[in-house]
């Protein structure tokens, strides 16, 4: 028997039982599309977390006041005035800290904003020109903060997209005036949209020169002069640990502390954030993939049922074909080709549905879907495998009955 003959015969067989074939294909199709989409969602989330974290800044180290090891003594995170502008200036020295390329002192206060009739509340960051490059932020309209702004105590501000939308809903923000806690500033630039990071909405933000922020918020309390953070960037990602060492040694010396166990500050490298976050999203991918595997298993059991029923009904046909001179091998090949065609049809349609879903769903779910080639290949292999196991094995058993036993079985 030629292959053309086999495929033609198999297609006839499938068309003869068209509703059953359609159900089989449907079961496989849904299982496979589910695998592709859930694995895709997991990988998409992983990629998104990765890019969100690298959007926080490149090679970044964050120094915060207060210690994680002696929390009670130093009065809790961010409350002790242990980080000063002098610390930041010292960290910027290329002789003491050769592996630290940029330093940005940061103060952060929530302030009332007003522009014309519009009011808004947002965190106001006082910092220097290095902030944007360390945080990997860009100015999409207008100009960035400059060293001259900080030096001259210029009343200029950069605003995030959310602030811009709320204060200037109808007009361009750049060049307009905004009042921060009642003090007028000129908007000189608008920041790129950055979404939300692990701990903040990066688009609801105002950036002003740190020299101006000191005057603006300095009367708010005893610790108001303390920096909220010092952001550092290492010369390269490979030098993160040297940069960490240099910063720790210098700050301990400046604060006259004997060892790192008594440190009144905490240094967090961005890599540790990345590691934590990516391990979380890996767990999520594994979870989603298991859900998908269960979907495929359930679909597979449905297909198995349909095929088993179909085969036991067809034992009579197998008997007839043997009575007409078919060898067990010919019977087997017929069922093999039928099952493979079903598996391939289900597999390819499932992949098609998965691809369509990966184009349509992200807009609805607001989550990216990354198509994973191993998941696609694996799902199709499993689909064809299910077809072969449950379509061919019972047929193989029937093919070895005597023709008359098979004919009488119905």
Partner 1 sequence: MMEVETEPPKQTGTAVERSSDGSVLSGPLLELAEVSKSYGEGAAQVLALRSVSLVVERGDYVAIMGQSGSGKSTLMHILGCLDVPSSGSYRLSGGNVADLSEAALADVRNRQVGFVFQQFHLLPRISAWRNVELPLIYAGVRQRSTRRQRAEQALAAVGLADRVDHRPTQLSGGQQQRVAIARALVTDPDILLADEPTGNLASDQADELLSIFDTVHELGRTVVLITHDPDVARRSQRQVRIRDGRIVSDATTRP
> Which stretches of the chain bind partner 1, using CB under 8 A?
1-2, 5, 9, 12, 15-16, 317, 320-330, 400, 402-405, 407
CB of 337 to partner 1, least distance (A): 14
- The CB-based long-range contact list for 400-407 (8 Å cut-off, 24+ gap) reads 400/328, 401/315, 401/318, 401/319, 401/322, 402/322, 403/319, 403/320, 403/322, 403/323, 404/319, 404/323, 405/319, 406/315, 406/316, 406/318, 406/319, 406/320, 406/322, 407/316, 407/319, 407/320, 407/323
Helices 270-323 and 373-399 meet at what angle, rounded to 10?
20
Contact 122, 172 (CB under 8 A): no
Smallest distance from partner 1 to CB 10, Å: 13
Provide the minimum distance between the beta carbon of 21 and partner 1 in the complex, in angstroms, as a whole number. 13
CB of 20 to partner 1, least distance (A): 13
Q: What is the DSSP string of 90-130?
A: HHT-TTT-TTEEEEEEEEEEEEEEEETTEEEEEEEEEE-TH
Residue 265 vs 335, nearer CB to partner 1: 335
In terms of CB distance, is 55 or 396 closer to partner 1? Answer: 396
Q: Which C-beta is closer to partner 1: that of 287 or that of 323? A: 323
Nearer residue to partner 1 within complex by CB, 4 or 373: 4
Provide the minimum distance between the beta carbon of 397 and partner 1 in the complex, in angstroms, as a whole number: 14
C-alpha to C-alpha distance for 378 and 241, rounded to whole angstroms: 40
Q: Between 307 and 326, name the residue whose CB sits nearer to partner 1.
A: 326
Q: Which is nearer to partner 1, 17 or 109 (CB)?
A: 17
User: In whole angstroms, how close is the CB of 340 to partner 1 at the nearest point?
Assistant: 19
């Amino acid at each position: 028997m030629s292959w053309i003959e086999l495929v033609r015969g198999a297609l006839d067989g499938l068309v003869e039982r068209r509703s059953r074939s359609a159900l089989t294909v449907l079961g496989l199709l849904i299982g496979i599309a589910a695998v592709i989409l859930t694995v895709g969602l997991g990988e998409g989330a992983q990629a998104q977390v990765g890019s969100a974290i690298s959007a926080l800044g490149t090679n970044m180290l964050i120094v915060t006041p207060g210690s994680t090891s002696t929390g009670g003594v130093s009065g809790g995170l961010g409350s002790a005035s242990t980080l000063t502008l002098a610390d930041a200036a010292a960290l910027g020295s290329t002789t003491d800290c050769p592996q630290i390329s940029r330093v940005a002192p940061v103060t952060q206060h929530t302030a009332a904003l007003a522009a014309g009739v519009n009011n808004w509340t947002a965190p106001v960051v006082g910092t220097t020109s290095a902030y944007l490059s360390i945080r990997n932020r860009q100015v999409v309209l207008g100009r960035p903060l400059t060293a001259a702004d900080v030096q001259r105590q210029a009343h200029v501000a950069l605003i995030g997209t959310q602030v811009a939308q709320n204060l200037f809903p109808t007009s361009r923000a750049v060049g307009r005036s905004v009042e921060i806690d009642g003090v007028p500033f000129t908007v000189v630039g608008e920041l790129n949209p950055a979404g939300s990071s692990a701990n903040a909405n990066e688009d609801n933000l105002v950036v002003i020169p740190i020299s101006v922020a000191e005057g603006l918020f300095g009367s708010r309390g005893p610790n108001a002069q303390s920096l909220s953070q010092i952001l550092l960037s290492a010369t390269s990602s490979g030098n993160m640990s040297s940069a960490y060492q240099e910063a720790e040694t210098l700050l301990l010396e400046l604060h006259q502390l004997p060892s790192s166990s008594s440190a009144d500050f905490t240094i967090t490298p961005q890599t540790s954030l990345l590691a934590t976050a990516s391990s979380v999203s890996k767990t999520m991918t594994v979870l989603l993939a298991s859900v998908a595997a269960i979907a495929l298993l359930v679909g597979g059991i449905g297909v198995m049922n349909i095929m088993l029923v179909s085969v036991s009904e067809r034992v009579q046909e197998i008997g007839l074909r043997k009575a007409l001179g078919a060898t067990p091998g010919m019977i087997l090949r017929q069922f093999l080709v039928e099952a493979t065609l079903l598996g391939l049809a289900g597999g390819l349609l499932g992949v098609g549905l998965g691809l369509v879903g990966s184009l349509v769903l992200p807009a609805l779910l607001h989550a990216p879907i990354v198509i994973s080639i191993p998941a696609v290949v694996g799902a199709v292999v499993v689909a064809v495998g299910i077809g072969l196991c449950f379509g061919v094995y019972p047929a193989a058993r029937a093919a070895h009955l005597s023709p008359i036993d098979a004919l009488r079985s119905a």
